[in-house]
């Protein structure tokens, strides 16, 4: 019972720390107390630099989904519906999750390592001595960049996955081009696009908040920075999957 209670308190303490860090960063962002040039630099780092990896993985994901589903649906003469399966699945679930996991592994680790190094070398303390709020200086620009860029990456991932499915569906499964594109958009609703964007927005907030939180909590030299980076990626993955479950239940089951 003691171990269970300690675990619950640790989870509560962690979630509370994330919430207060996000609230502080949001306040600073809404008040304009952050460097806009840093925000644009982070948008480039999170969005433009992540685009090639997101694009290639999304394209291959669409291809694989068509290969897998076409084999089963072909037994029932329903292979023409694979386009709808790919588009709906990517927009509702896989698109936002894939983008979030890529950004968490690529950008989240970098953010945690960068802030963790600044914490170890006492640069964050120096900012406070100079009268600069470390959260407004370090977290708010990255939070704004993630909020803006992840929905765009999600839309790009959806488009490229549909194109990847189109390539396999038309040239390998021999579905008519018009039929594939028609089925791809027949079952998509505005609600599905909205849900995907809402998930991408939420995932961006979680990734940046968790990564910055672990960076600020780093201690113990270079080894501590490594631990903080690992925790940032693992916790971001867990929070993304958990939030995906919660949002799917809210939008489609409640």
How crowded is residue 127: how many other Cβ atoms within 10 Å of its Cβ?
17
Mean pLDDT check: name the lowest of 12-16, 43-47, 77-81, 227-231. 77-81
Residue 244 binned pLDDT confidence (cut-offs 50, 70, 90):
very high
Are 115 and 216 a contacting pair, CB within 8 Å? yes
Cα separation, 182 vs 83, whole angstroms? 8
* Rg for the chain, CA atoms, rounded: 21
Tens of pLDDT, residue by residue over 20-66, are 999 999 998 888 777 888 889 999 999 999 999 999 999 999 999 88
Count of all residues that appear for the chain in the document: 254
C-alpha angle 84/90/95, rounded to 5°?
165
Question: b/e for 194-219, b at 16 or more Cβ within 10 A?
Answer: ebbbbbbbbbbbbbbbbbbbbbbbbe
Pair of tokens at residue 22:
């996000």
- For the entire predicted model, the pTM comes to 0.91
Contact 232, 112 (CB under 8 A): yes
The C-alpha atoms of residue 145 and residue 55 are separated, in whole angstroms, by 19
| Residues 105-158 pLDDT 10s | 999 999 999 999 999 988 988 888 888 889 999 999 999 999 999 999 999 999
User: What does the mean pLDDT of the chain come to?
Assistant: 90
CA–CA separation, 39 and 190 (whole Å): 30
pLDDT at position 51:
92
DSSP, residue by residue, 216-232: HT--SHHHHHHHHHHHH
């Amino acid at each position: 019972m003691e171990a269970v209670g300690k675990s619950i308190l640790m989870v509560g303490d962690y979630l509370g720390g994330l919430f207060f860090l996000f609230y502080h960063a949001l306040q600073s962002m809404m008040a304009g107390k952050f460097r806009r040039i840093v925000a644009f630099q982070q948008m480039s780092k999170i969005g433009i630099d992540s685009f090639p990896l997101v694009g290639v993985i999304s394209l291959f994901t669409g291809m694989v989904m068509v290969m897998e589903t076409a084999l089963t649906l072909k037994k029932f003469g329903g292979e023409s519906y694979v386009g709808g399966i790919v588009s709906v699945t990517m927009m509702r679930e896989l698109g936002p999750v894939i983008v979030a996991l890529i950004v968490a592994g690529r950008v989240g680790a970098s953010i945690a390592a960068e802030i963790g190094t600044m914490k170890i070398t006492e640069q964050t303390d120096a900012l406070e001595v100079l009268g600069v709020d470390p959260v407004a200086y370090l977290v708010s620009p990255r939070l704004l960049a993630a909020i803006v860029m992840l929905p765009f990456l999600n839309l790009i991932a959806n488009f490229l996955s549909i194109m990847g499915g189109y390539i396999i569906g038309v040239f390998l499964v021999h579905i008519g081009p018009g039929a594939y594109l028609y089925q791809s958009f027949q079952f998509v609703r505005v609600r599905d696009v909205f849900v995907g964007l809402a998930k991408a927005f939420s995932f961006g907030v979680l990734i940046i908040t968790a990564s910055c939180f672990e960076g600020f909590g780093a201690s113990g030299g270079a080894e501590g920075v490594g631990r903080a980076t690992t925790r940032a990626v693992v916790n971001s993955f867990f929070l993304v999957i958990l939030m995906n479950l919660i949002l799917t239940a809210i939008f489609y089951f409640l």
